[in-house]
Structure 1
Amino acid sequence: MNKYFFTGVALLFTMISCNSGSTQNQDKKETEGKTEVYESNNPLDVAFGDPFIVYDNESDMYYMYGTGGVKNGFMAYSSKDLKTWEKRGQVYSSDQEKAWGTKDFWAPEVYKRNGKYYMFYSAHWKNNPNNELENYKIGVAVSDSPTGPFEDMTGEPLFDPGYPIIDANVYFADDGKLYLYYSRCCYKHAVESEIADWAREKKMFDEIEESWIYGVELSADFASVIGEPVLLLRPPVSMDDQQAEWESRSVTSGEVNRRWTEGSYLMKHNDTYYMMYSANFFGGQHYAVGYATASNPLGPFQKSAANPILQKNTENGGIVSGTGHNSVLEDRDGKMWCVYHGRTNKTGNDRLVFLDELQLTENGELKVNGPTVKAD
């Protein structure tokens, strides 16, 4: 799986500096005196949100999972070259005996372990005595094949921290430990901050709800968590924080009274842990990606001064907006890709999948060469 191989060797690709507002159709880089040109294939003809791609060396195929495409479940696509994708049909359905979710099946990620394929996903839990509008939890389903069928392991969510959670991501540490990362939903989570004060003074919103990213150790059998979750990332409290402007755009634009920190993805290079995450409304134009670093998988994490590293380019003459909820893929040749969803002025409101090169600069900064689009 892709997280197993995010090592120093995997990241010895050419270091160049890229602008997240790029509108180029091609990515050029210098390698040993030669210029290599990568044609953009974006957006892919796959209408997924929250895309996740895994390379399966047994079949020598790439498999993609995401939000959408089927009701109350998940479907998959496969590809040999990351350009042409074949629809493989529904791979998980809530119409099964152990299903615990009722609706809103979101953000699947699939990991291979001991010959089995495990799908982590979010859904609305049927155990809802208080009739909460957002009763989201994380579940795990298993299959003998990357194309399913995936069957729920226990008939219950993985765990219940006492608040709604989404966007599971699993990291396999060098010492054999496993870690689960997730986002606490904004729902009923009003937080005081200078942004909230500003919104009240402007008579825009009475309160601002926030989502926060947590991490917790995961059992080896994926059946439970170990210890208590640790808060890792949240929106800035102060308006002087250099992250406050880009992470608060959904509020300051009047779009919605929520600030998100979600869609986390953890990877490691040398002794540094990189957590990529998304901020702002997933259904709006301001959705964007940043990252934070730490020396431990459970933090503390420090957000990068380079944030956001992926965002809309419509203000710079481009056509892409709503870029976010990324994962990372290492392809069969060792090249790293940022896999994310976005929209274009030409394709409308449907979330489509994008792949752009992910690079690590000599000073340790992550760079996404995108968003790019294919030439007309």
Structure 2
Amino acid sequence: MRRVKLTALVAAVCMQFSLYAQNPIIQTHFTPDPAPIVHKGTVYVYTGDDIPGYDFYNMTKWRVFSSTDMVNWRDYGSPISLESFEWARDRGWAAQCIERDGKFYWYICAQTTANDMAIGVAVSDSPTGPFKDALGKPLITTGAWSTIDPTVHIDDDGQAYMYWGNGSLFYVKLNKDMVSYAGAIVEVPQSVESFGGIRQPKGTSETNSQAVQPKDTYIEGPWLYKKNNQYYQMFAGMSKGAESLSYSISNSPTGPWKYQGKIMTDQPTNSFTNHGGIIDFKGKSYLFYHTGLLPGGGSYGRATAIEEFNYNPDGSIPLITMSKKGVQPVAILNPYSRTEAETIAWAEKCTTRQDEKVGVYVTDIRTGGHIKVRSVDFGSTSPKIFTATLAAGLDGGILEVHVDSLKGPTLASINVPRTGGWDSWKTLNKNIDVKVTGVHDLYFVFKSHNIISGRKLFNFDHWVFKQ
């Protein structure tokens, strides 16, 4: 056997790709408005689903992904869509999911058949679904277009709060059942002290606007959470020509709020909007946000990105700069357990799809594409067999597995045959004659038998190494 060693050259190539290819964290779909939660040692992020190519936010579904290491994200597809809510008509915008007593409540906003925006809720016994409309009607409806972007927090005493709003900020106290609320809808007063300023009315003259221009103002996208007995209200605020991420704090979940400043501003996100979420995971703090930096993206084609940060000693949040390198892994991936092919750190020239037979799988695989999986630990004993489950309606192509870079040592090369159809799955094995131990990044590289072929090659469901 040949042994794989991380030479200086290979390590340099590995580092180059690792630094470049991590943000946005999902490349197979457009994933705006990330809303992360931590549940039993796993991070789940709930996103929208932009449809680029139109000058508006034409979302019709929501997506969910998970990770235990912050770099390899498993795609669970779209457990809910506008079709899940009989009262919804269009515009499925930002949403957030939260767990209570073993059930998961996914709060969404959508245009109703009455032609306003409303907030609804879907429920599931699992963070990845299946979800169903909990009420058969909206939870919050006000007849206004500002009823968008719900965020939910359950306080230490068990009381749950839901905030929302565009231009204005509102909240209600949710009942313990999480699908009803008690009391009236409360509008949060806004001022320079609370949110950095007051939004200028439409039609304000440029001269007056400059004269009273606030340093910030609440626009939309609230994110409520608690840390060290302090309540944080992050929101999309005002920046130069685009939204910033800003925040206020309070000693109470209902305020009064005290403006603290901007978290992310004046960054080359290629998106007018920004929408964020903050979590702690395995002793580290993370900001989730979105950019328009995927190919074909922009303000109407946005994708989730992540940055790690450290709170200041006084609990304040520093100014955070977006990066291409993103975050580093906080755990390892076990190659000897079945791994879904849609568990991805970086992907090019492929996407994912779901069906009732196998769930989510990788498809639209093209020559020159690849999937990168980070921080794979082979341990001290080298694997002997690589196994992959694939399907092809035509002569499939070649699946190569490389170590540490796209052109690194080849662990396995599988000729994918015609399996009998794009949904006719076949498990293929390949003996490994290269010895590999320790932690490495893996690259699943897609090639065609015909170098000039641009057609779809094969579908890819899952893989595993065997000793």
The residue identity in structure 2 corresponding to 1:227 is: G
Q: Distance in 2 between matches of 1:348 and 1:323?
A: 13
- How far off its partner does 1:344 sit? 3.6
Q: Distance in 1 between matches of 2:273 and 2:305?
A: 9
Residue 126 of structure 2: aligned partner: 145
Gaps of at least 5 residues in structure 2 are: 1-14, 52-58, 210-216, 327-467
Q: Distance in 1 between matches of 2:24 and 2:293?
A: 8
Residue 265 of structure 2: aligned partner: 311
The residue identity in structure 2 corresponding to 1:144 is: D
Q: Does structure 2 retain, via aligned residues, the 8 Å contact 1:328–1:339?
A: yes
Residue 245 of structure 2: aligned partner: 289
Q: Distance in 2 between matches of 1:338 and 1:321?
A: 17
Task: Tell me which structure has the larger Cα radius of gyration.
Answer: 2
The residue identity in structure 2 corresponding to 1:337 is: Y
The residue identity in structure 2 corresponding to 1:355 is: I
Change in 2 beyond 3 A, CA 1:147/1:311: same
Q: Distance in 2 between matches of 1:78 and 1:297?
A: 28
- How far off its partner does 1:84 sit? 2.2
Residue 325 of structure 1: aligned partner: 275
User: Which residue, 276, 285, 288 being the options, matches 1:336?
Assistant: 285
Change in 2 beyond 3 A, CA 1:294/1:39: farther
- How far off its partner does 1:264 sit? 0.8
1:171 aligns with 2:153: yes
Identity within the alignment, %: 27
Change in 2 beyond 3 A, CA 1:324/1:73: same
The residue identity in structure 1 corresponding to 2:278 is: V
The count of corresponding residues between Structure 1 and Structure 2 is 287
Q: Distance in 1 between matches of 2:163 and 2:150?
A: 6
- How far off its partner does 1:359 sit? 2.9
Change in 2 beyond 3 A, CA 1:300/1:113: same
TM value normalised by structure 2: 0.55
Q: Distance in 2 between matches of 1:265 and 1:72?
A: 22
Residue 142 of structure 2: aligned partner: 161
Residue 54 of structure 1: aligned partner: 37
- How far off its partner does 1:141 sit? 0.4
Gaps of at least 5 residues in structure 1 are: 1-25, 27-37, 186-210
Q: Does structure 2 retain, via aligned residues, the 8 Å contact 1:337–1:356?
A: yes
Q: Does structure 2 retain, via aligned residues, the 8 Å contact 1:322–1:341?
A: no
Residue 164 of structure 2: aligned partner: 182
Q: Distance in 2 between matches of 1:260 and 1:79?
A: 31
What does residue range 330-369 of structure 1 map to in structure 2 within 5 Å? 330-331=280-281, 333-344=282-293, 348-349=297-298, 350-369=301-320
Q: Does structure 1 retain, via aligned residues, the 8 Å contact 2:65–2:76?
A: yes
Change in 2 beyond 3 A, CA 1:40/1:171: farther
Q: Distance in 2 between matches of 1:370 and 1:94?
A: 34
How big is each residue's C-alpha offset from its partner over 1:70-106, in whole Å with a ceiling of 9 and x where there is no partner? 863222222232212232212013334x532111111
The residue identity in structure 1 corresponding to 2:100 is: R
User: Which residue, 196, 207, 210 being the options, matches 1:243?
Assistant: 196
1:223 aligns with 2:172: no
The residue identity in structure 2 corresponding to 1:276 is: M
Q: Distance in 2 between matches of 1:80 and 1:345?
A: 24
Q: Distance in 2 between matches of 1:235 and 1:287?
A: 18
Q: Distance in 2 between matches of 1:327 and 1:180?
A: 15
Q: Does structure 1 retain, via aligned residues, the 8 Å contact 2:117–2:143?
A: no
Q: Distance in 2 between matches of 1:40 and 1:219?
A: 43
The residue identity in structure 2 corresponding to 1:311 is: T
Residue 99 of structure 1: aligned partner: 86
Q: CA RMSD in A?
A: 3.4
1:276 aligns with 2:234: yes
Residue 390 of structure 2: aligned partner: none
Q: Distance in 2 between matches of 1:113 and 1:234?
A: 31
- How far off its partner does 1:143 sit? 1.1
Change in 2 beyond 3 A, CA 1:280/1:136: farther
Q: Does structure 1 retain, via aligned residues, the 8 Å contact 2:32–2:50?
A: no
The residue identity in structure 1 corresponding to 2:103 is: K
- How far off its partner does 1:233 sit? 5.6
Q: Distance in 1 between matches of 2:117 and 2:152?
A: 18
Q: Distance in 1 between matches of 2:229 and 2:279?
A: 20
